[in-house]
Amino acid sequence: MSGLNPQQREAIHYLDGPLLVLAGAGSGKTRVITQKIAYLVQDCAFQPRNVAAITFTNKAAKEMQERIGKLMSRAIADQLQISTFHSLGVRIMREEAKALGYKPRFSIFDSADCAGIISDVAKTVDKATLRHLQSIISNWKNALVSPEAARQLVSNDHEVLAAHAYLSYEATLKAYQAMDFDDLIGLPVKLFTEHPEIKEKWQNRLRYLLVDEYQDTNACQYQVLKLLTGVRGQFTAVGDDDQAIYGWRGADIENLKKLPAEFPGLKVIKLEQNYRSTVTILKAANNVIANNEKLFDKKLWSELGYGDPIYVTACRDNDAEAEGVIMKLQAHRFEHRGKFKDYAILYRSNHQARTFEEYLRDHRIPYLLSGGKSFFDKAEIKDITAYLRLLTNEDDDPAFIRAATTPKRGIGAATLQVLGTYAGERHVSLFQAAFEEGFAHRVQARQLEPLLEFCQFINRTQGRASNEPAHQVLPDLLKAIDYETYLYDHEEERTAQTRWSNVCDFANWLNKKGEEDGKTLVDLTQSIALINMLDKQNDEDYDAVQLSTLHAAKGLEYKHVFLVGVEEGILPHRESSDPGKIEEERRLMYVGITRAQRSLHISYCERRKLAREFIPCEPSRFIDEMGKEDVRFSGGKSDPLPDKATGNARLDAMKAMLAGNKR
């Protein structure tokens, strides 16, 4: 425990009741959590299987697991319950599924699967409407609002449609023996509430809980924590009210307010020493966040010295901003002999990335776009992968439903609903249920025929997929399902071409992989989930500038940050007029500032091109709130327009100078 400050040591050793650790940005919260887990097991005789640490992302869980692996033996570390809220929910529901009328092998539907159901029940294919309906239903689920209660809460046409769809959506999921991501939290709450004996079993199993990023919990997650800890209140919640930026997806900062009221013995420890940023950066962050109403007073400080001033640049327009940022980044990198991965360009919304991408490509600067869609997440790849998953495991119900309905082959939603209900009663997979005589009696012959035809096709292809090389089986599969025709029938020609090209690329890659490794299609399918042929973002050694939204950048840090588009209407967002939303936008600015370790460059446009016209812009109020003492302003109407030739010449001169120094 060497190198810990007094507050960190206190947080690790405190076991006299519930504990809230208010961990400011860069204050070493992950170290506190991992060291506390080691302390519980090694010094306090807790069995590792009785200790659970809950995070919000798989990446955070993996990082925590790796850190703990360095503090204790692998055999002990592997017994710890380190997972996301959703993974914990899956574990609980797999074990207790029968209590709520599910089979243990229930399916978990992703966003696309769920959108398909909502599309059917709401009778719309409009993607924007579907996203909106999904969001409304998800927020109701996270707030523990039932379909019946939702009907009483509606206040506009979208909510009326969502409430109508919600009831049918839930019924369809249950019929399919499936859960969505929200159910993985909501159903354990229902389970523990309705079955006290099961709640007690899990309270005894998970005797100490540690929750990371507690400020991001929603009402549902809070209930899981409360139900699991019970009267003992043996937990440590680690969070930061100044970084609560996920209100739009259901996170409830009220959960922080509830803790002292619902757990009167709650101890609060503040971690205010920052190990990431310079004094100048922290001063600006503290100044900004001081304008919010505070739940708990907290002020970050650092021993890393003052560092560089913060640079704020007014730019003529979008293009000038992108060009200026790229030139400054290049010059700064050459001057400091840094790497591309030391730099991040952060923005409020995804659409802001496009102009920066163009300029980065023009200058041949490598970059990674955070949150970009993985190749394997494309709908057409998931369609084909569904067939491969089903060939490998006929009990994979989500794959069955996707493959059976894409392309359409006469198997309707009504048939699948009856099949799902029957499979649930019999506790068998959809595939197995389709062959049973009991199911045949529940549907008409015209419904049964296409279903059996599909299942028999899968059976025939299974034998080949297990024994023959991939390059022999896959082309026949694509031809048999006639996927190319399906795309051209359902999409505009250009979109169909792109999607079919992706399918061909995927097939060629699988064929090549099969030939190189001597693997069958089944062998390859089992490893697809572990392979991401296009995702360089997992490669920490990849030297590239990071482009990211502020939301996606939370929890990360970069030596040098360019925070762009800091304007009224963007940050804060134009739809954030009420005080609560302004406070969340201010917290978003705070998150952006505190990502920077050594230098921070902020820019805004005086006018911004939207469609074919220029819209005048005002600098964000948050720039003034930073204070002016350590801020250097440049650009604006009084400054001459940047001369690209001069800038490039300056850059070339710098490169030449550096080249000369290396000789």
Among all residues, which ones are annotated catalytic? 29-30, 212-213, 243, 595
| Start-end of H helices in 99-213 | 111-122, 127-142, 147-153, 157-175, 183-194, 196-205
The answer to whether the beta carbons of residues 195 and 161 sit under 8 Å apart is no
Q: Is the dihedral of CA 85, 86, 91, 96 positive or negative?
A: positive
| Start-end of H helices in 534-578 | 550-553
Name the strands in the sheet holding 208-211, side by side, starting at the edge strand that comes first in the sequence.
Answer: 81-84, 51-55, 208-211, 235-239, 19-23, 267-271
Burial class (CB in 10 A: 0-12, 13-18, 19+), 302: buried
The answer to whether the beta carbons of residues 312 and 627 sit under 8 Å apart is no
How far apart CA 107 and CA 429 sit, in angstroms, is 10
Q: What does residue 653 show for φ and ψ, rounded to 5 degrees? A: -65, -40
How far apart CA 591 and CA 101 sit, in angstroms, is 43
Beta strands in 534-612 (DSSP E): 545-549, 558-563, 596-605, 607-610
The answer to whether the beta carbons of residues 238 and 214 sit under 8 Å apart is yes
Render the burial of 322-346: b for 16+ CB within 10 Å, e for the rest: bbbbbbbbbebbeeeeeebbbbbbb
How far apart CA 560 and CA 601 sit, in angstroms, is 8
How far apart CA 490 and CA 506 sit, in angstroms, is 20
Residue 345: helix, strand or coil by DSSP?
strand
Residue with token string 């990849």: 542
How far apart CA 427 and CA 177 sit, in angstroms, is 9
Residue 663: helix, strand or coil by DSSP?
coil
Both tokens of residue 569? 């209407």
Instruction: Please state whether the peptide bond connecting residue 572 to the residue before it is cis, i.e. omega within 30 degrees of 0.
Output: yes
| Start-end of H helices in 208-307 | 219-229, 254-262, 279-289
- 562 secondary structure, DSSP code: E
* Helix 521-528 with 445-467: angle, nearest 10 deg: 100
Render the burial of 136-157: b for 16+ CB within 10 Å, e for the rest: bbbbbbbbbbebeebeeeeeee
Query: Whats the size of the chain, residue-wise?
Result: 663
The residues, any chain, with a CB within 8 Å of residue 652's CB and separated by 6 or more, are: none
DSSP 358-386: HHHHHTT--EEETTPPPGGGSHHHHHHHH
Both tokens of residue 530? 């572990």
